[in-house]
Structure 1
Amino acid sequence: MAVSAEDLGTQDIKILLMKQAIPASVGILFMSVNILIDTIFVGQWIGSLAIAAVTVVLPITFFISSLGMAIGVGGGSVLSRALGGNNKEKALLTFANQIMMTFFMASLFVILGIFFSEEMLELFGAKGAIVAPATEFFFPIIFSVPFLALCMMGNNIIRAEGKAKFAMYAMIIPAFVNILLDIVFIKIMNLGMTGAALATSISYVMCFLFVLWFFMNKSELKLELRHFKFNFPIIKEITELSFVTFSRQGVISILSIILNHTLYTYGGEHSIAVYGIISRMLMFALFPVLGITQGFIPIAGYNFGAKNYDRVKESIQISIKYAALFAAVIFVFILFFAKPIVSVFTTDIKVIEETPNALRWVFAASPIIAIQLIGAAYFQAAGKAKKALFLTLSKQGFFLIPLVLILPNFFGIFGVWISFPIADVLSTVITGYFLKKEMNTKLNNTSDGSIL
């Protein structure tokens, strides 16, 4: 399944996409299954309020750890180009600075989180009966966040080295550890939310230990003590390239805050639990679509750089067709099996009654999201950072957040759920416009430029 740079420019696009998308899909699948099963265990063994508590706390930890992801993505670009230019010393300095930046920034946010825990939990939506389980879950898990941040940073460097298999292992290991320890701590030892937090925290540490093992034994990047010095030109370069990734996560965090507060206002604690189930299903159900999107990027990027625009266009068309097909199948499955799916998560009758229709509405526009995802990914692959950032943030930042703030005033809790498909349609229309324009101009060598 290995792919060389030459293959990206010559091999059949369908075969290439399969080779690139399958490992990405497997990694996303294991990560989403981990979150999904974790939510099922918490909901079945502790209760629906526990799902609401996790829904409040995890966006905080992911926001802090996303610093590592952003530094990993930005620094990975610097590092890859340094290795490509045979500048091994710059690559090593970049890697060392990434480690220091990730550790210090994540640790700073953790310290702030500990001292301002009440304010932070309230900001992210911990109200009423959610406060107690959210606090119980928050404190054990906050101490493990620097490990998660370093894992997310390290995973991007592993990919930058071309070791995709080990990057996939780094996502699989914590999933198995978390699921196993959930059974031990929650079901057998009856530790409740503390047990759930401990299981998650230990899984982060195990991921970190695997990443550390990789860099000590398998990596080409062998750091020495002299590399661990702040290099401000490199830090500036990493920071500039990290901005898109961190901006995206920042918008997602703002959306989480607004959603949790709006859901509590119009539906109470159980509505946050409802969204907790839906958000887990969004990542799990769409894993093949997200995998195709990730697999598409290097194919489009290589051929765009080689000015092989016919292959770029072909990769766009095939990726959208395959992703749309998967998304349509997923929507049909959700449409008919929403209630059995929800029943797996909880025994709370109120949550079981409300979630199926909400789930159907949130997934209502999923058959067309392939255009939005692949379109935004194309502009990223082509190095058009401003358009990529605009289109990546369009759904959550420009449409979903305003809709969630406005529609519930007229439609109550239903306004929250219909905000999702409306945002999907609007962002898809915008992305489709830019993508079609690009295909009819920049990429229009021989064919008609149709998206599908």
Structure 2
Amino acid sequence: MSLRPSPENRFLTASPGRIFAATALPMIAIMVMNGMLGIIDALFLGHFVGADAMAAVGMAFPVLMLTIALSTLVSGGMSSLLARQLGANESNAAYATFAGAHGLALTIASLLIVIFCAGGWGFALHIAGSDGPVAEMVWVFLAITIFGTPIQFLLGVHADAWRNEGQAGVMALMSVGVTLINILLNYILVVVLELGVAGSATGTVLAQALGLVLLAVLRPFPGGMMPLDSLLRNRWTGSWRRIVALGAPVSLGFIGMALSSASVVLAIRLAGSTDYATTIAAYGIVTRIFGFAFLPIMAVAMAMQSIVGNNVGARLYTRSDAVLQIAAATALLYCLAVEVLLFSEGTVIGAAFVADPHVSGEVGRMLRPMAAVYLFSGPALVLGLYFQAIGQPARAALLTMIKPFVLLPVLVVATAAMLGADAIWFAFPLADGVAAIIATLVLAAALKARGNAGIGIKAVGNLS
């Protein structure tokens, strides 16, 4: 097949700065709206349901991260292949990848449902300890979420396909509308109907279903590169191995976040925190805050991934390097601003979520050490997704997995064992610092390997 660039592909023709802004800004808008949903939902739960609901959501967070990780396994792996295939104008290969991602998404979601049916209640009882009402809330919240994963996973596949086709602007407009509907649904279900955590989870699943229908139905109209009927002309069991290999680094990074979160909850419980319920409720708020702060970084990295993948597919390596530099600088400045805000206003931010001054004070106490060197986290993520985009899963895995899978769990356990539960928050800046050093070494090794020829040239690999 021809490797000539597609004449319809703006990723290959617009200036790097302009195409990055045109792609990243809509993606940031989408991510911020999704993050606002999480924040507003937490406000509903904190003010209209209570601290127990926040504690239940905090306990469920590791499983939520697992679902995000598995969704990213499919959509992220598909994106790496799809962007390079579209950049090289390999239409048939792109159609096959798109179809294969659908089959893999539904298979993984089905396995999650089976596993939850077998062990969901046991997990809820274990994570909540002896608190029966909280365990019941954890189970209800997770049951609705897990049974909605087929919708969540397919939504991720379609959203990433649109992003790699250069339709981020259209996605942003739809995302704003769907998110506003989601907020309205959550208000009705949580506040008006008083369904608590069940209302929160149900509103999210309904909004995801609406988003998926819109992305599928509207696909023919913006002039996308892949017609919807290509799903009928290609096997849904193809490309799974390549999708998993390329999606694994970022996916395992999210699973590592779940592991890190679980290790924090376990450390608080085993180390004998003076007020377990208050600490867990505060940690649930902190996870929402950092989750919201993380979304624009992820948007920057995903925009960079799409542009770099298309340009590497078309063998335009100078352009891909320029976009990497722009994305890394953007992430660094953003993370510095977040660090200053969280470090100085943590208690004030916590008070917005819950009226209990003990919980809001605990939020501020956690955020100050956790945000101490947050500025390094963004560029490290951007670099990890860059290596994924150009087909280097080993380097991508190292950069996306080392902190959540190794550094944070080990440092959390070590600080809890040596200094007690109140000191585990200092594990986060230590992990960020070590991860930044590792990212610097990986980048230096990549630069040395390619000499003066450009990173992408040594790492193109097979387009399919």
TM range (shorter): 0.7 to 0.9
Q: Which amino acid aligns with 1:223?
A: D
1:333 partnered with 2:341:
yes
Residue 28 of structure 1 aligns to a residue whose secondary structure is helix
Question: Which 5+ residue runs of structure 2 have no aligned equivalent?
Answer: 1-7, 455-464
- How big is each residue's C-alpha offset from its partner over 1:24-46, in whole Å with a ceiling of 9 and x where there is no partner? 21121111111111111111111
**Closer, same or farther in 2 for the Cα pair 1:440/1:314, shift >3 Å?**
farther
1:261 to 258, 266, 272: 266
In 2: Cα distance, 1:230 partner to 1:292 partner? 30
**Closer, same or farther in 2 for the Cα pair 1:148/1:101, shift >3 Å?**
same
Residue 346 of structure 1 aligns to a residue whose secondary structure is coil
- How big is each residue's C-alpha offset from its partner over 1:230-276, in whole Å with a ceiling of 9 and x where there is no partner? 545x3333333333343223222222322222233343232222121
Structure 2 matches for 1:126-275, cutoff 5 A? 126-129=128-131, 130-169=134-173, 171-215=175-219, 219=224, 220-223=226-229, 227=233, 229-232=235-238, 234-265=239-270, 266-267=272-273, 268-275=276-283
2:426 to 408, 414, 418: 418
1:365 to 362, 365, 373: 373
1:113 to 98, 116, 129: 116
Cross-structure match for 1:50: 53
Quote how far apart the aligned CAs of 1:143 are: 2.3
In 2: Cα distance, 1:227 partner to 1:312 partner? 32
In 2: Cα distance, 1:205 partner to 1:384 partner? 34
In 1: Cα distance, 2:440 partner to 2:139 partner? 43
What is the RMSD of the two structures over their aligned residues, measured on CA atoms?
Answer: 3.1
Residue 19 of structure 1 aligns to a residue whose secondary structure is helix
Quote how far apart the aligned CAs of 1:164 are: 1.9
**Closer, same or farther in 2 for the Cα pair 1:386/1:170, shift >3 Å?**
farther
Quote how far apart the aligned CAs of 1:312 are: 5.7
In 2: Cα distance, 1:89 partner to 1:6 partner? 20
Structure 2 matches for 1:393-404, cutoff 5 A? 393-404=401-412
Q: Which amino acid aligns with 1:192?
A: G
**Closer, same or farther in 2 for the Cα pair 1:307/1:136, shift >3 Å?**
closer
Quote how far apart the aligned CAs of 1:401 are: 1.3
In 2: Cα distance, 1:313 partner to 1:85 partner? 18
In 2: Cα distance, 1:45 partner to 1:400 partner? 33
**Closer, same or farther in 2 for the Cα pair 1:272/1:155, shift >3 Å?**
same
Equivalent residues of 1:68, 1:151 under 8 A apart: no
- How big is each residue's C-alpha offset from its partner over 1:338-381, in whole Å with a ceiling of 9 and x where there is no partner? 11110010122321221102111111101333442333234334
**Closer, same or farther in 2 for the Cα pair 1:426/1:416, shift >3 Å?**
same
Equivalent residues of 1:313, 1:443 under 8 A apart: no
TM-score by length of 2: 0.84
Quote how far apart the aligned CAs of 1:53 are: 0.9
Quote how far apart the aligned CAs of 1:50 are: 0.8
**Closer, same or farther in 2 for the Cα pair 1:417/1:214, shift >3 Å?**
same
Equivalent residues of 2:344, 2:368 under 8 A apart: no
**Closer, same or farther in 2 for the Cα pair 1:67/1:215, shift >3 Å?**
farther
Quote how far apart the aligned CAs of 1:146 are: 1.5
**Closer, same or farther in 2 for the Cα pair 1:287/1:75, shift >3 Å?**
closer
- How many percent identity over aligned positions? 23
Size of the aligned set, in residue pairs, is: 440
Residue 128 of structure 1 aligns to a residue whose secondary structure is coil
**Closer, same or farther in 2 for the Cα pair 1:122/1:420, shift >3 Å?**
farther
Residue 13 of structure 2 aligns to a residue whose secondary structure is helix
Equivalent residues of 1:79, 1:160 under 8 A apart: yes
Q: Which amino acid aligns with 2:243?
A: I
In 1: Cα distance, 2:312 partner to 2:86 partner? 21
Quote how far apart the aligned CAs of 1:225 are: 8.0
1:352 to 348, 351, 360: 360
**Closer, same or farther in 2 for the Cα pair 1:241/1:429, shift >3 Å?**
closer
Quote how far apart the aligned CAs of 1:329 are: 2.2
Cross-structure match for 1:429: 437
Cross-structure match for 2:288: 280
1:405 partnered with 2:413:
yes
Equivalent residues of 1:92, 1:222 under 8 A apart: no
In 2: Cα distance, 1:323 partner to 1:92 partner? 32
Equivalent residues of 2:73, 2:250 under 8 A apart: yes
Residue 450 of structure 2 aligns to a residue whose secondary structure is coil
Quote how far apart the aligned CAs of 1:151 are: 0.8
Cross-structure match for 2:67: 64
Q: Which amino acid aligns with 1:330?
A: V
